[in-house]
A and B are shown apart, each in its own frame.
Chain A
Amino acid sequence: MALKIAVEKSPTPTLKLVGRLDTDTAPELDSELNKVLASKGIKRLVFDLSGLDYLSSAGIRCFVRARKAIEPGGGTVAIVNPQAGVRKVLDIVKAIPAKGIFASVAELDEYLDAIQQQVRDQ
C-alpha cells in the first residue's frame, strides 16, 4: 500500500512510480513534484506508470498539477506505459490528453524525437 518514486533527471526528467497512488500517497508525489518543478524551464516531464497498480483521483490531481506547471511554458507532460486499470481511470477522467499517453518508452522517444525535429525545423 505504498508508493515508490524514482526520479530520473536526464535525458528527460522522469518520475517512475511503483505501487499505489491514492489519497494517502499523493502527498508524497506532490512533494517530489515540487522538487522537480522547482528547477525552471522544464520542457518535458514523463511519468513512467509501468509499476503503478492503482490510481485514484488524488493521484490524477498530481498529474494535473504537473501539467499546469509545465504546459503554460510550452512544455509537455507525458505518461508512459500505464497498466490497464490505471489507463482506464486516466481515460475516464481525461486528465491527460490521449496524445500524451504512450504505451511504451520507445513510443515516447519517437514522439519526443518528432517534437525536436519540429523545433529544429522551425
Chain B
Amino acid sequence: MLLWILAVAVPIYAAAMYMSYRSAAERLELGAERDADELASQLAADLDAVIRPIEGGIRTVAAQLEEIDPPLEQYEPRIRGILAAWPEVYGSTIAVETGSAHTSPRPFAPYLFRRDAAVASSDLALDSYAYRSLPWYRRAADGLEPVWSLPYFDAGGGEIWMVTYSVPFFRRPADSERVLAGVVTADLDLNWVRAAAEGAPMGAIGMGWLMSPPDPESFVAPIGATTQRVARFDASIDEQAFRDIGERMLASGVTFGLLPDGAAAEPAYLAVRALETLDWRLLLVLPRAELLAEARALLERQLLLGAAGLVLLIAAISFVAASISRPIHALASAVDGARDGDLDFRLPEGQRHDEVGVLTEALRRMRDSLQRHIALRAEDLAARARLENELKIAASIQQSMLPHWAVDAHPAGARVAAALLPARQVGGDLYDYFEREGGLLFAVADVSDKGIPAALFMASVSGLFKVLGSAGELPERLLGRVNERLAESNDACMFATMGCGFLDVGTGLLRYASAGHEPPLLLEVGGKVELLITENGPALAIDTPAVYPMTERYLAPGDTVLLFTDGVTEAAAADGSLYGIERLSALLEGRADDDGPEALVRRLVEAVTAHAADFHATDDLTALAVTFAPRGVTASRRADGEHWLIEPELSAAGVREVRQRLRAILAARRVAASRIDDTELIAEELLTNIVRAAGAGDAKSRMSLELELTPAEILLTIRDNGLAFDPLSRAPPNLDAALADRDVGGLGIHLVRELAEDCRYARVDDCNVLTIRLNRVIT
C-alpha cells in the first residue's frame, strides 16, 4: 500500500514542483523583459534628455539662419552659442553651400571645438578637406532634412567617439525659390552616453550594452556594472556578436530569447530593444543560472519541503497502514483458526470506529452467526439422527407387521414366499397372509406415496386387514369393509390398492378380489403363466360404498398365484424402460419345474433389481407367491403335460379326498364338467373297490392315484398293494337280466369301462396297477 501511495504521490509532487518551477522561471523571464523595457525607456529618456534639446537648438539655429540670413561673419558667434548652450556638444560648424547664384561664392565652414576647457577653432573650408563631399554634409544637404550621423571614432581629432547632427538651412532669395544655403552641425561627444549608460539602473544580474547601429563598428556603452560582470562571466565576450544576434531577433520580431549555444560561456538569455532615439540598441545578456537562480532556489526550497513532506507522508501512511494492516493481520490469523472448524476464535476487543472496526464487527457477527448456525445444524443433525433412529424403529415395526414364519414353515396346504424392498426406510407397500379356517388369506397392497405418511397409512391398512380378515370375511366383503373404514377418516386423501385372495386349501379354490390393484399372475405346474383377469374395484379409501367383484378360480396343486406391486412392473432401467409384465411373464415361464415360491420370489427380485438402474430411487417392490401345496399331493411337470400323484390314506375318507382333488385339478384346467364327473366317477368306483377289498385297519395297505393331464388326454393310474386282483377280468354284468337275477356288484367296473377310452390292468412290484385313459374332450 505504501508503495502504491508513493507511486501515485511522488509523480504528482514532481509535476507540481516542476510546474511551480516553470511558473517561477516564466515569472522571472517576464520580469527580466520588463526590466529590459524599463531600462530601455530609461536609457532612451536619458539620451533624449540630452539629444532632443540639442536637436531643437540646432534646428532653431538653422531656422534663424534662414530667417535672418546673416552675413558669414556672424556665423561664428552662433557656433560659439551652441557650444555654450550644450556641454555635450564637442564641436560645431556652419558650413555653407557654394556653387550657385544664390549661395556663397566660396566655401565657408568655421569649426569651433572644445580643447582643454577652452574653445578652439579651425577652418574646415580648406581645399584639402572638401567638406561638401563629406558624409556629415552631404546627407543633410542631399536629404534636405536634419540627420544624425552614425557614431564614429574621431581618430586624429578628439580621439573620442562622436556623433554628428547635421541640419540643412535655406535661403529665400527674392527672385528665386528657397535654396539650400548650408548645413549646421553639432558633434556630440559620446562620453556622456557612456556615463549615462554606466549610471543607468542595471539590475542585480546580467550585462547590458547600449549600442549604435553598426558602421561597421558600433559604439558600445556598457551599462551599469557590466564591465565587472563581463570579467566575471566571460572575459572573451563579444558584444558585437550579440548585436548581430539581437538584430536577427528584432528582424523576426523577437525581443527575448536564449542565446544560441556557443555564443556565451554558459546558457544565457538575450533581451534586445530598439531605441527610437538614434535607432540605437539596448542589449541585455542575462546568464540563465543567475536569472533563474531565484526559481532554482524556490525549487530547492520546494524540493526540500517536498522531501520533508514525503517523509512525513510515508510516516503517516506507514502509521495508518500499520494501524489498519496490523489489526487486519490479527483478524486474518484469528479467522484462519476457524479453518479447522474451531469457531471459538477470539476477535480483537475494543471499539474502533474505522473500517477495521467495521470489518471486525462484521467478522464478529459472521462468527456468531456461524456458531449459531452450527449449533442449529448440530441440533438438526441430532434431530435427524433421532428421526433416523425413529425411522429404523418404524421400519422394524413395519417389518414386524409382515407375517413372520419360520424359514421352512408354511401354512397347511400352501407354500408362501414374499419379499418387500422398500424404496425408503419405511414404505407404503404391504403384504400379509395368515391361515384361517379352511384356507389361507393373503394380500398385497400398495399405498399411494412413499415414506412415513405411506407407512402410517399402510399400518392402518395392515391392521384393518388383520382384524377384518380374521373375522372370516372373504375377499370381496373384506375389501369392502376395509375400504369403508379407511374412507371414514381419510382426511389426508391417501389411498391404497390391494389385491386380496383366499385360497381354500382343501379344494384349491382361489377367491380373489382387487381394489385397483394389478392383476396377479397364475403359474401352472406345466409352466404356463397367465394373468388372473379380475374385475377391478376402486382403490381403497376413495369411494364408499364400493363393490369389489370376486373372481373364483381353481388352483391345481403346485399352481402358484403371484401378487406384486407396481414396483415390479414399473422398475425403470437407466434408459427409462420399465420392467413390465412381459419381462415378468417371460421370467416366470422360464422357471424350473421344482422352483418353489421362495425361488420364484428370489429370482423375481434379482431380475427386477438387476433391471432397475437404481432400485431404491423408484418404488417399493413387493412380491408374494402362494403355491397351492396340499398334503399328500405331489405335482410335477411332464414332457407334454402335468402330473399329480395323490397319496390318500386307504379309507373312504381317502377316496373322498382323491375325488375332491381330482375335481379341483380338472376344474382348474377347465376340463368340461361332465368329463370331471366321469373322471371322478371312475376314481370313486375303483378306489372304493380297493378300500372295500383291503378291509379296515390294515396299516400296511396303500393306495395312490396319479393324474396325468396332456392337451388331449386324462390319464389315471391307480395303485394298491393289496392282493393281486384284476377288476377288469370280471365278466360284465348282464344288464338285461331280470331284476331279481341281477348282481348289483360289478356295476362300478362296468361304468368305468363304459366311461373310459381304455382300461388296463397290470401287477407291478406287488401292486395292482390300473391305467385308465380318457379323452380330455368328449367328442
- A contact set with B: CB distance below 8 Å: 1, 22-24, 53-54, 56-58, 60-61, 64, 67-68, 71-72, 84-85, 88-89, 92-95
Q: Is the CB of A22 within 8 A of B684?
A: yes
Known: A61-B747, A64-B742, A89-B751. A54 touches B677 (CB 8 A): yes
* Residues from chain B with Cβ under 8 Å of A23 in the complex: 652, 655, 684, 688
Smallest CB-CB separation from A93: which chain B residue? B747
Closest to A89 in B: B751
- A93 contacts across to B, CB distance below 8 A: 735, 747, 750-751
Q: Contact: B681 with A56, CB < 8 Å?
A: yes
Q: List 20 A-B contacts (CB under 8 A).
A: A23-B655, A23-B684, A24-B656, A54-B677, A54-B681, A56-B681, A56-B684, A56-B748, A58-B684, A58-B688, A58-B748, A61-B744, A64-B744, A68-B740, A85-B678, A88-B674, A89-B681, A92-B751, A93-B747, A93-B751
Shortest Cβ distance from B508 into chain A, in angstroms? 14
Query: In the bound complex, what is the Cα–Cα distance between A66 and B112 (angstroms)?
Result: 215
Point out the residues of chain B lying under 8 angstroms from A24, CB to CB: 652, 656
**Once the chains are docked, how many angstroms separate the CA of A23 from the CA of B654?**
12
Contact (Cβ within 8 A) B739 A60: no
- Inter-chain contact B735/A57, CB cutoff 8 Å: no
Please tell me if the beta carbons of B677 and A71 are within 8 angstroms of each other in the complex: no
Contacts of B680 in A (CB 8 A): 54
The CA-CA distance from A1 to B659 in the complex, in Å, is 10
Task: Report the contact-size class of chain B (Cβ under 8 Å from the partner).
Answer: 20 to 34
B754 adjacent to chain A (CB < 8 Å):
yes
Cross-chain contact of B747 among A22, A57, A85, A88 (Cβ < 8 A)? A57
Chain A residues whose C-beta falls within 8 Å of the C-beta of B677 in the assembled complex: 53-54, 85
Does B660 belong to the interface (CB within 8 Å)?
Answer: yes
Identify the closest chain A residue to B750 (Cβ): A93
The CA-CA distance from A85 to B663 in the complex, in Å, is: 15
Q: Is B750 a contact of A92 with CB atoms below 8 Å?
A: yes
* B736 CB–A CB distance under 8 Å: yes
Residues of B close to A22: CB separation below 8 A: 659, 684
In the assembled complex, B755 has its CB within 8 A of some CB on chain A: yes
B144 CB to nearest chain A CB (Å): 181
Q: Does B685 contact A (CB under 8 A)?
A: yes
List B residues at the A interface (Cβ < 8 Å): 652, 655-656, 659-660, 673-674, 677-678, 680-681, 684-685, 688, 735-736, 739-740, 742, 744, 747-748, 750-751, 754-755
Cα–Cα, bound, A57→B753 (Å): 13
What A residues does B735 contact at CB under 8 A? 93-94
Asked if A92 contacts B754 (CB within 8 A), the reply is yes
Q: Which residues of A contact B656 (CB under 8 A)?
A: 1, 24
The total of Cβ contacts below 8 Å across the A-B interface reads 58
Nearest 9 interchain pairs by C-beta: A57-B748, A94-B735, A57-B747, A92-B754, A85-B677, A23-B688, A56-B684, A61-B744, A85-B674
Cβ distance B165 to chain A, nearest Cβ, rounded Å: 179
Query: Which residue of A has the minimal Cβ distance to B747?
Result: A57
User: How near does chain B come to A89, taking the closest CB pair, in angstroms?
Assistant: 6
Given A23-B684, A24-B652 in contact, is the A67-B748 Cβ separation under 8 Å?
no
Query: Given the complex, which residues of A lie within 8 Å of B652, measured CB to CB?
Result: 23-24
Query: How many whole Å from B469's CB to the nearest CB in chain A?
Result: 26
Given A54-B681, A58-B684, 20 new contacts (CB under 8 A)? A22-B659, A23-B652, A23-B684, A23-B688, A24-B652, A24-B656, A54-B680, A56-B684, A56-B685, A56-B751, A57-B685, A57-B747, A61-B747, A64-B739, A64-B744, A68-B739, A68-B740, A72-B740, A85-B673, A85-B678
- A67 touching B739 by the CB < 8 A rule? yes
B734 to chain A, nearest CB (A): 10
B739 in contact with A71 (CB, 8 Å): yes
Distance A53 CA – B22 CA, assembled complex (angstroms): 138
**CA of A84 to CA of B744 in the docked complex: distance in angstroms?**
23
Write the nearest CB–CB distance from A7 to chain B, whole angstroms.
23
Minimal beta-carbon separation of B679 from chain A (angstroms): 12
Task: Give the shortest distance, in Å, between B304 (CB) and chain A (any CB).
Answer: 134
Q: How far is the CB of A87 from chain B (nearest CB, A)?
A: 11
Residue of B656, B744, B755 contacting most chain A CB atoms (<10 Å): B744
How long is the Cα–Cα vector from A61 to B745 in the complex, in angstroms?
A: 9
Chain A positions within 8 Å of B740 at CB level: 68, 72
Nearest residue, chain A, Cβ from B688: A23
Q: Kindly provide the distance from the CB of B714 to the nearest chain A CB, expressed in whole angstroms.
A: 16
Cα A64 to Cα B747 in complex, Å, equals: 11
Bound together, the chains give a CA A105 to CA B685 distance in angstroms of 30
Complex CA gap A57/B688 in Å reads: 10
* CB-CB nearest in chain B for A55: B681
Q: Tell me the bound Cα distance from A86 to B678 in angstroms.
A: 10
Determine if B751 and A57 form an interchain contact, defined as CB atoms under 8 angstroms apart.
yes
In the complex, what residues of B have CB within 8 A of residue A72's CB?
740
CB-defined contacts of A67 to chain B, threshold 8 Å: 739
